[in-house]
């Protein structure tokens, strides 16, 4: 078998296309595979599908999977056809080995889509010797294609969360289907308008705002307002993860402030206070107990409020939870610590939404679990962490999108 025929077979090139030359250049470490079509071939018009004669051609090249350690390229003159149907005009032909407008073959892009599940994009870029900007464009294109096929008509219970794409700036809002445990929508910003954009996207995928029965959110005014405006039938729940996180933020500030007065005692104690007690190692638990036993620290008081608040979530019913929360509120609101009283006031203000967690049975650990997926997305977007790329990676990791069906590759 001639190399041209062999490569034609391996690449799945079929008539009217054929491999016409295979050139290996040792100096430039590359393999060039030339593809051409037979003179007089007809191609389907990209608008109406009518077989049409070639009008003119342009030279193009596509990066393909490496041939052993050598970069491989496909080259072809891509025809434009003049459709007999005058409404269509002159149109570029779609080649079977690449996506329109891409400088990569489908197989190369399939490899990128496989690698991006496990490796940071900048690592893949280095490995494949392409710029990460080009890879991000590939990822975004497949996410858009896969999302276009998504059906959100069954979505009933949603969770909304925000994350910082970079430390302290560029917030991103992520909206999840709590029943299917998947990311539905991501957008830049964290104001109430992000919820409006979510509804537009939800309805573009067959969902309905009035079908939403529950929304789990944090206690931000923007999300509360957005949910109230956009989802007329949704019960708002402030999920435990965010309630305890807010409490932990207050505790962390109190401890950090106090650590200045007691540097020796409180040195590197942040995680001792923030971790759940059952996750502490024996030596950490011992040190925390020593700190607590030392004297009347504000950190200790704040820590006890946190444990008592977490304890509310062990309640078996809303009724029991309300008793525990009322006890917690009584203690916290009479605290000498400003930040604890502020936390108490926040809890009071969001009382029903906090307790509705016990009615709605929303999958509680889910948003917390999602947070670790988002951290993974950030790690894989490493070195190029703009909000759009972070959202793209979040869809790949948490969107449960079907990418396989997007590659109609020869088998």
Tokens at 62, concatenated: 């596509």
317 binding Zn ion? (CB under 5 A): no
User: Count residues contacting Zn ion (CB under 5 A)?
Assistant: 7
CB of 52 to Zn ion, least distance (A): 7
Beta strands in 68-118 (DSSP E): 70-82, 90-92
81 binding Zn ion? (CB under 5 A): no
Residue 49 or 383: the one with the smaller Cβ distance to Zn ion is: 49
CB of 42 to Zn ion, least distance (A): 12
Q: Which stretch binds Zn ion (CB under 5 A): 43-51, 135-143, 189-197, 348-356?
A: 43-51
Q: Are strands 51-67 and 17-25 parallel, antiparallel or unpaired?
A: unpaired
Residue 275: strand, helix, or coil: coil
Q: Which stretch binds Zn ion (CB under 5 A): 80-88, 183-191, 330-338, 345-353?
A: 80-88
Q: Which stretch binds Zn ion (CB under 5 A): 21-29, 38-46, 157-165, 238-246?
A: 38-46
93 binding Zn ion? (CB under 5 A): no
Separation between Cα atoms, residue 9 and residue 14, nearest integer Å: 8
Residue 44 or 103: the one with the smaller Cβ distance to Zn ion is: 44
Tokens at 333, concatenated: 């609101």
Look at the alpha carbons of 373, 376, 381, 387 in this order and tell me if their dihedral is positive or negative. positive
83 binding Zn ion? (CB under 5 A): yes
CB of 221 to Zn ion, least distance (A): 54
CB of 41 to Zn ion, least distance (A): 16
Interface residue with Zn ion among 48, 148, 200, 256 (CB under 5 A) is 48
Residues 101-130 that bind Zn ion (CB under 5 A): none
Q: Which residues of 320-342 are buried (b: 16+ CB within 10 A; e: fewer)?
A: ebbebbeebbeebeebebebbee
Tokens at 185, concatenated: 């929508």
**Cα atoms found within 13 Å of the Cα of residue 282, Cβ hemisphere only:** 0
Q: Are strands 157-166 and 214-217 parallel, antiparallel or unpaired?
A: parallel
Residue 197: strand, helix, or coil: helix
Interface residue with Zn ion among 85, 131, 276, 286 (CB under 5 A) is 85
Interface residue with Zn ion among 10, 21, 47, 204 (CB under 5 A) is 47
CB of 4 to Zn ion, least distance (A): 32
CB of 47 to Zn ion, least distance (A): 4
Asked whether 61 and 73 are in contact (CB, 8 A), the reply is yes
Q: Residue 6: CB partners within 8 Å, gap ≥ 6? A: none
Interface residue with Zn ion among 33, 45, 112, 174 (CB under 5 A) is 45
Contact residues for Zn ion (CB under 5 A)?
45, 47-48, 50, 83, 85, 88
């Amino acid at each position: 078998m001639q190399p041209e025929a062999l490569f034609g077979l391996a690449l799945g090139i079929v008539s009217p296309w054929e491999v016409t030359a295979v050139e290996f250049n040792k100096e430039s470490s590359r393999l060039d595979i030339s593809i051409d079509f037979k003179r007089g071939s007809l191609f389907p018009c990209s608008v109406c599908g009518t077989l049409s004669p070639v009008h003119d051609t342009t030279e193009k090249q596509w990066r393909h999977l490496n041939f052993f350690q050598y970069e491989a390229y496909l080259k072809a003159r891509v025809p434009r056809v003049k459709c007999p149907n005058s409404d269509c005009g002159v149109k570029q032909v779609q080649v079977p080995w690449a996506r329109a407008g891409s400088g990569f073959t489908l197989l190369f892009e399939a490899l990128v889509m496989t690698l991006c599940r496990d490796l940071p994009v900048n690592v893949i870029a280095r490995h494949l010797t392409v710029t990460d900007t080009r890879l991000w464009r590939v990822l975004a294109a497949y996410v858009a294609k896969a999302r276009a096929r998504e059906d959100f008509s069954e979505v009933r219970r949603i969770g909304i969360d925000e994350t910082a794409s970079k430390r302290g700036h560029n917030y991103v809002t992520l909206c999840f289907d709590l029943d299917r445990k998947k990311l539905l929508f991501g957008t830049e910003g964290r104001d109430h308008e992000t919820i409006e954009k979510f509804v537009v996207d939800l309805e573009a995928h067959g969902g309905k705002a009035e079908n939403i029965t529950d929304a789990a959110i944090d206690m931000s005014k923007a999300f509360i307002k957005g949910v109230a405006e956009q989802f007329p039938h949704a019960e708002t729940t402030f999920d435990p993860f965010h309630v305890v996180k807010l409490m932990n933020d207050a505790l962390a500030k109190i401890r950090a402030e106090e650590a200045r007065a007691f540097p020796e005692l409180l040195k590197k104690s942040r995680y001792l206070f923030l971790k759940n007690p059952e996750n502490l190692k024996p030596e950490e638990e011992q040190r925390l107990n020593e700190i607590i036993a030392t004297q009347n620290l504000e950190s200790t008081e704040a820590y006890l409020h946190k444990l008592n608040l977490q304890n509310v979530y062990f309640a078996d019913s809303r009724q029991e939870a309300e008793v525990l929360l009322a006890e917690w509120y009584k203690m916290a609101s009479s605290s000498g610590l400003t930040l604890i009283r502020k936390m108490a006031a926040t809890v009071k203000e969001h009382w029903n939404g906090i307790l509705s967690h016990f009615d709605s049975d929303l999958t509680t650990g889910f948003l917390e679990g999602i947070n670790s997926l988002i951290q993974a997305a950030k790690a894989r977007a490493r070195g190029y962490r703009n909000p759009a790329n972070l959202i793209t990676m979040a869809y790949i990791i948490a969107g449960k999108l079907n990418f396989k069906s997007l590659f109609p590759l020869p088998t």
